[in-house]
Amino acid sequence: MKVQTYPPKNSQIHAYLLFFFICNVQIGVGIFSFQRYIFHVSKHDAWISVLIACLCAHAVLWLIIRMLNKYESADIFGIQYDLFGKYIGTLFNCIYIIFYLLVSILIMRSYVLVIQVWMFPDMSSWLIVSLLAILIIYAGFGGVRVIIGMCLLGFVVILVTVIFCLVTLRYSIWTQLLPIMESNMKDILRGAFRMSFTLAGFEFIMLIYPYVRNKERAMYHSQFSLLTGNLIYLIIMILSVAYFSSSQLERSIWPTFNMLKILKFPFSERLEFIVISIWMLMVLTGILINAWAISRGFKRMWNWNQKLVLLTVILIASTVTVMMEGRKNIDKLGEWVGLGSSVLSFLYPFLLSLIALIVLKVRARKAGDRGGGAS
């Protein structure tokens, strides 16, 4: 496998489109329920946990792009192959592929659960999954540019959702945020650790980077995109703590949906139905990006046909989603994926970046010594 990869020009994108790509891959269905898990640990200091996790994400992203800049045009699959060799590098690449598959299943199953609970309780899982699968396959065959186009539309959905949530400002009780730092530092850091799964997604820059034309602008647009996503999560967390009582927020499974229920329009008294429907675009994009990452991995390592791999991945994810029943199984999968995200999105990219920078520096020094000796 070649370390460097050079996609054709008709598949390349401008760096500013990374803003929409990272926002979409970072913000998914987790935005409707993350508050409960963070508040359960950090209480009304949950927003501090979110802030700490956001700062860590910016630091890791900075290291990742520094690493990518050292390579001319490489992705995570090529970098691991270069640093760890054929066998260990391939093993690490397979771990990422399995993780992306589990994330796809979790996103799909979570959205099916939301539809069945909030909109159509009697609708069969296989029907919802079939509709999602058809749309994902159709869009996936369009390539990277179609995925980026869906991300651009998805950003509009994100903005609309956040604007709707701001309506709770008039009902918020800001004293519920006080006193600050009442929770001990251990609980705040535990909350930040739990938040890492929700913030995961920015590491996909390691896959899309070779497709960027003006790579010198990748750092700016990626960090700005991550900042936007982090601010959205922070705002929603603060609004949730100020709007709900402690008992309400701990009991609520989907706090964001409950916030939207206070909005009523002449044409619709159940705004959450509209939000759930338009968020299908976000779900499709999230699953599609993960499925594309898997197909890209097979293409890079074994030169398999990406469309065939994409089709196979969606069929596997759809089958597992239909077979998975019960809230406990979904929560269990969420726990495992959350732990994997903390490692593969934060800890491992951090270590990989440091290893790459050290190894490349040593190689450059050795090459310089050999060049000096030869002269």
Do 147 and 289 meet the contact criterion of CB atoms below 8 Å apart? yes
- Please give the Cα distance from 223 to 292 (Å, whole number): 23
Cβ neighbors of 34 (< 8 A, separation 6 or more) are 195, 198, 233, 237
- Please give the Cα distance from 143 to 295 (Å, whole number): 11
Tens digits of residue pLDDT in 177-224: 988 988 899 999 999 999 988 899 999 999 999 999 999 999 999 999
Residue 372 pLDDT: 60
Ranges of beta strands (E only) in 24-115 are none
Do 60 and 349 meet the contact criterion of CB atoms below 8 Å apart? yes
Ranges of beta strands (E only) in the chain are none
Residue (of 197, 261, 227, 246) closest to 30 by Cα position: 197
Give 265's strand partners: 268
Residue 286 pLDDT: 92
* Stated pTM of the model: 0.93
Q: What is the DSSP letter of 4?
A: B
Q: What angle do CA 36, 191, 223 make, to 5 degrees?
A: 100
- Please give the Cα distance from 17 to 261 (Å, whole number): 33
- What's the CA dihedral at 105, 109, 110, 113 to 10 degrees? 180
Long-range Cβ pairs for the range 87-93 (8 Å, 24+): 90/301, 93/297, 93/300, 93/301
Q: What angle do CA 327, 242, 161 make, to 5 degrees?
A: 60
Cβ neighbors of 195 (< 8 A, separation 6 or more) are 34, 38, 49, 50, 53, 233
Could you write out the three-class secondary structure of 166-192? HHHHHHCCHHHHCCCCCCCHHHHHHHH
- Residue 121: Cβ-neighbour burial (10 angstroms; 0-12, 13-18, 19+): exposed
Low-confidence ranges of the chain (pLDDT < 70): 267, 269, 371-375
Classified as helix, coil or strand, 122 is coil
Residue 216 pLDDT: 92
Tell me the residue type at 259: M
- Please give the Cα distance from 334 to 342 (Å, whole number): 12
Classified as helix, coil or strand, 324 is coil
- Please give the Cα distance from 250 to 34 (Å, whole number): 11
Domains of the chain and any CATH numbers: 9-374 (1.20.1740.10)
Residue 373 pLDDT: 58
- Please give the Cα distance from 102 to 94 (Å, whole number): 12
